[in-house]
Amino acid sequence: MNSTPTHPVQITTDELVKLRADSNLLLLDCREPDEHAIARIEGAMLIPMQEIAARLDELEPWREKPLVVHCHHGVRSLRVVEFLRGKGFHTAQSLSGGIDAWSRDVDANVPQY
C-alpha cells in the first residue's frame, strides 16, 4: 500500500490564493519566455515545459512541499504535473484554467492574451 498522501491533480484559483497565504510553495510557470513577458503571476519561477526534465534538480527542494504548475489555460501544466508525479513529486498540482483563470478570478492586472 502506498503511504504517499494524495493531492488532487488540479487546484482552483481560490485554492491557490489560500495556499499561497498559508504555506511556502513553488509556483512554477511552464510557459515560454515570450508568454511570461506578456503576463506573469508574481513570484512564479519560469521553467518552460520542454526544459523541465533537464532542470529537475532545481525543483528538488519542493519534492515534498506544495508545488503548483501553471501555463496559459491548464493543458501544458497538466502534462508537466503528470511528468513530475512520475518522478516522485506527489504534491505537484496544476492550476485549473491557468494564468487566464488567474487574471479573470484573482488579479485583473495580469493581462489576458
Other beta carbons within 10 angstroms of residue 56's beta carbon come to 16
Domains observed in the chain: 10-105 (3.40.250.10)
Q: How far apart are the first and last CA of the chain?
A: 44
Nearest to 101 by CA among 61, 72, 63: 72
Catalytic positions are 71
Other beta carbons within 10 angstroms of residue 10's beta carbon come to 16
The predicted pLDDT at position 87 comes to 96
pLDDT in tens, 58-69: 999 999 999 999
* Average pLDDT score, the chain: 93
pLDDT in tens, 70-104: 999 999 999 999 999 999 999 999 999 999 999 99
Is the model's pLDDT at 2 over the cut of 70?
no
- Helix intervals (H) in the chain: 13-22, 33-38, 75-86, 98-105
Q: How confident is the model at residue 3 (pLDDT cuts 50, 70, 90)?
A: very low
